Amino acid sequence: MPVQSERQNNFFNVCKDCKDSCCRNARPPINSKRKKIIETYLKKHKIPIKNPFVQASYVFLREDAEGYCIFYDKTTMKCLVHPVKPETCVAGPVTFDINMPHQKIGWFLKKEKICALAGMLYKNEGNLEKHLTSAKKEILNLLHGLNSEDLSAILKIEEPETFKIDEDKIDDNVANKLNIKRKQSCKTSSVSLEKRI
């Protein structure tokens, strides 16, 4: 299993001052491989959180009454499963969408007005490139482990206040999963590659 430093830089110094929290109303998707990794981590570290997964239109992490992820520690403001957290948590503030007619996966960055980390990354080309490379790897790992139904449900989630920074052709694994649902699940994007922070 990759160690924390191989999955994501430590951005806590930027994120700790944020007025909002990405860990609220986040509902990060979980594929079967990540589910097992998190379960093993909880057991090994004796973290007493039962039934952390919700099976709805796709599998995601349970939330508390205030909408915070069940793994968010409100005292430390840190993630209880940081080394093994879900792929979208590592990839943030990079998000994705799939344009089925064009067989492309688009990579989006949150606008600085809603994410200080995004602004910090955008202003440093080297940091953004490094993080985008890592985010793409994480998201593709997530997608490859999802079933068609979960993937189709996830693609219906809107990601407002983002702008497109890159796109790639989708690989066969993802294309095959979406093939049977191509007509009803496609969500196109008209976002351009221009700066929109």
Q: Is 89 in the site for ligand SF4 (CB under 6 A)?
A: yes
- Residue from 15, 23, 135, 165 that binds ligand SF4 (CB under 6 A)? 23
Q: Is 118 in the site for ligand SF4 (CB under 6 A)?
A: no
User: 């492309």: which residue's tokens?
Assistant: 104
Would you say 175 and 88 are in contact if contact means Cβ atoms under 8 Å apart?
A: no
Name the amino acid, one letter, at 177. Answer: K
Q: How far is CA 151 from CA 14, 45, 92, 143, in A?
A: 31, 30, 18, 7
- Give the interface size with ligand SF4 as a residue count (CB under 6 A): 12
CA dist 68 and 178 (Å) reads 31
Nearer residue to ligand SF4 within complex by CB, 62 or 102: 62
- 3-class state of residue 2 by DSSP: coil
**Least distance to ligand SF4, CB of residue 79, Å:** 3
CA angle (180, 55, 78) in 5-degree steps: 115
**Least distance to ligand SF4, CB of residue 197, Å:** 23
CA dist 40 and 36 (Å) reads 6
**Least distance to ligand SF4, CB of residue 82, Å:** 7
Name the amino acid, one letter, at 117. Answer: L
Residue 106 CB neighbours (<10 A)? 20
**Least distance to ligand SF4, CB of residue 69, Å:** 3
Nearer residue to ligand SF4 within complex by CB, 4 or 127: 4
Nearer residue to ligand SF4 within complex by CB, 28 or 106: 28
Site for ligand SF4 in 54-73 (CB under 6 A): 61, 69, 71-72
**Least distance to ligand SF4, CB of residue 193, Å:** 28
Q: Is 94 in the site for ligand SF4 (CB under 6 A)?
A: no
Would you say 34 and 110 are in contact if contact means Cβ atoms under 8 Å apart?
A: no
Which residues form the interface with ligand SF4 (CB under 6 A)? 23, 26, 28, 61, 69, 71-72, 79, 81, 85-86, 89
